[in-house]
């Protein structure tokens, strides 16, 4: 349980910076990184252990990743462009697809089929790794955009 809470820490840290796309997603990032961390941990264990509990954890994490991806896609603001366009956008969408809907669909189809659950775990791991690279790339693209103000809160 403590590991799950600790998995959100990266999302919290990058969300409270001045990088525009990260600051804009400060509420989604901890949830997203937490779900990704849980998915990665359960997927790694699932590659070696045939335990139905790991499959259920992976299923729940894939659901959470799907929700996080949907929240990002639903935000149509220009500040989300690094998550939807260019290299960082392609990586973000690929990582989100693999760790969310693709993993979820494979898990739904796999049921008790061991090879299907291993495939879902592998897809989930790949998606989680790509997602982390994608967020770094999106941060870089966001910081280099001269039209984008720093992600600092408005003065009151």
Q: Please compute the mean of the pLDDT values over residues 54-69 and round it to a whole number.
A: 94
What's the predicted TM-score (pTM) here?
0.84
Cβ(130)–Cβ(91) under 8 Å? yes
pLDDT digits (tens, 9 = 90+) for 63-102: 999 999 999 999 988 889 999 999 999 999 999 999 999 9
pLDDT digits (tens, 9 = 90+) for 98-141: 999 999 999 999 887 899 999 999 999 999 999 999 999 999 99
pLDDT digits (tens, 9 = 90+) for 4-54: 667 776 777 777 777 889 988 988 998 899 999 999 999 999 999 988 999
């Amino acid at each position: 349980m403590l590991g799950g809470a600790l998995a959100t820490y990266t999302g919290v840290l990058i969300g409270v910076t001045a990088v525009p796309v990260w600051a804009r997603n400060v509420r989604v990032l901890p949830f997203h990184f937490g779900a990704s961390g849980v998915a990665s941990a359960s997927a790694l264990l699932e590659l070696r252990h045939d335990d139905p509990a790991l499959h259920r954890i992976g299923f729940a994490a894939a659901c959470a990743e799907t929700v996080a991806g949907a929240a990002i896609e639903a935000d149509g603001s220009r500040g989300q462009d690094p998550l939807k366009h260019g290299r960082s956008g392609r990586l973000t969408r690929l990582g989100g697809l693999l760790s969310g809907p693709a993993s979820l669909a494979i898990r739904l189809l796999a049921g008790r089929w061991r090879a299907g659950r291993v495939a879902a775990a592998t897809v989930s791991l790949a998606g989680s790794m790509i997602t982390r690279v994608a967020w770094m790339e999106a941060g870089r693209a966001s910081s280099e955009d001269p039209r984008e103000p720093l992600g600092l809160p408005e003065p009151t």
